[in-house]
Structure 1
């Protein structure tokens, strides 16, 4: 943190560009600040790019249920990560959202107050990162299948 603060101070002094309070400037170790200062780049949140590229607002209008996720869900997810952005849109249309992640950290359950109905980990047991990386698609598929089994029970009135 102190190195990023110093980096911002040097940029302000030498280039006259204010990056200290620029949203996203500290991401990736200050890469955003450097790109903005040296290349006049515009910083956009990744979630906004994803929402636009996937036309999520339009698709959300006809959705019954939405799955979203990322590698790790934690309290940082509230600050511009895809699951939070997806939940905000879904909430506007009254669509329930289920989040899945390889790792569910402390603070993740704060998202339940912001439009995510449930959060699930894709790891069924303690696993090394190497084990998870062997077949992440199957872990996701297994998790979603189990969630849909519960969802089907609800639909059947159980």
Structure 2
């Protein structure tokens, strides 16, 4: 039996690659004769760089940069392999400007900036990249990508032509944008934004109202951040005539999607579709008899743009069934029906029994292994007793 192992990361517990390895150990325990293809995936957030580098035989590169609150850190970008015609670099915003990089006590939703991500992209371009894939997800910021743009020489000025500080809180004072220090070559580098949300830049469904509270913003700060992003949209309209305020995906990563669309040669693509294309997901599904995927929580969001539903739809188009595992699994009928429609025929929770969250997170890889061993044993028995089995 050929089994494709194509999970996302289990957030705050294990990377997609670690989960795929744990799955493989479990499959071999349950069915030593099974063949496994490991294809760790990402929907554009955490794990995007490693997933694409792993899938294409690319390379990882360490860079000195700063986190969302300006502290020095080491982050990574990757170059794709597989003889891609362009020199494509993959960057995760979460790697430098991610929420998980900053402890709750140190988070500052008004001053948090994407400047470190800009430094990471600059390093990739300096190393020879002529195309960037930027994963938008997991950010600690609501600055509309202005910090990132600042790293390339863009200036954001107030009414007195003074530079405003980094961070989304300062955007309420933005009067105009100056690009006199930005080279045309930088502006023209193609940037593909891997994004799994469709939120606009501003308003009730925008970046500030939906995502900033998760980054520590109070109700008052949310309103100020929303005003700042609206101000940024007006400034971009005055700068080059681009209207980005209500564009789907502009609200991704604290409005970084909007800033990138407004200031750079950027386009938006659904993260999982982009990853599956670059990682040769169609070929992997064609090879497999069954697909096993997973993420930290199989819930009402899973059927919509997440890794399990993305790989399941691709497998379903080729007549291959998909099984999904998760740290937690929602069983309500609407979610189950939506999962079934994507091609996920069964879901399994990996928790062995009642336990506190800390213990469950610490034992994630072990519990994934045990769960996949049970799945593999069941699949082996089913195949052996099927009247349709052929030699």
Equivalent position SS for 2:354: coil
The Cα of 1:103 is off from its aligned counterpart by: 1.6
Paired position in structure 2 for 1:60: 285
Mean CA deviation greater in 72-81 or 31-40: 31-40
- Find the residue that maps to 2:269 and give its secondary structure: coil
1:119 shift after superposition: 1.0
With normalisation by structure 1, the TM-score equals 0.82
Q: Which residue matches 2:354? A: 126
Mean alpha-carbon deviation: is it higher for 46-55 or for 8-17?
Answer: 8-17
User: Which structure carries more helix by proportion?
Assistant: 1
Gaps (5+ residues) in structure 2?
A: 1-202, 210-225, 238-242, 387-391
Q: Which has the higher strand share?
A: 2
Q: How many residues align?
A: 157
Choose from 247, 255, 258 the match for 1:21: 247
Alpha-carbon separation, structure 1, partners of 2:259 and 2:289: 42
For the 8 Å contact 1:25–1:32, the answer to whether it is kept is yes
The CA distance in 2 between the partners of 1:100 and 1:32, in whole Å, is: 31
Q: Is the CA contact 1:100–1:120 (under 8 Å) kept in the aligned structure 2?
A: yes
* Contact persistence 1:101–1:122 (CA under 8 A): yes
Q: Is the 2:247–2:258 Cα contact (8 Å) retained in structure 1?
A: no
**CA distance in 1 between partners of 2:267 and 2:384 (Å):** 50
Unaligned runs of 5+ in 1: none
Q: How does 1:1-158 map to 2 (within 5 A)?
A: 2=204, 4=207, 6=226, 9-16=230-237, 17-22=243-248, 24-105=249-330, 106=332, 107-109=334-336, 110-157=338-385
d(CA) in 2 for partners of 1:43, 1:30: 13
Residues 32 and 123 of structure 1: is their aligned pair in 2 closer, same or farther, counting only changes over 3 Å? farther
Runs of 4+ in 1 over 6 A off after TM superposition: none
User: For structure 1, which segment, 130-139 or 65-74, has the greater mean C-alpha deviation from structure 2 after superposition?
Assistant: 130-139
Contact 1:50 1:82 in 2 (8 A): no
CA drift at 1:59: 1.5
C-alpha distance in 2, partners of 1:121/1:26? 32
Q: Greater Rg, structure 1 or structure 2?
A: 2
Structure with larger RCO (C-alpha < 8 A, sep 6+): 2
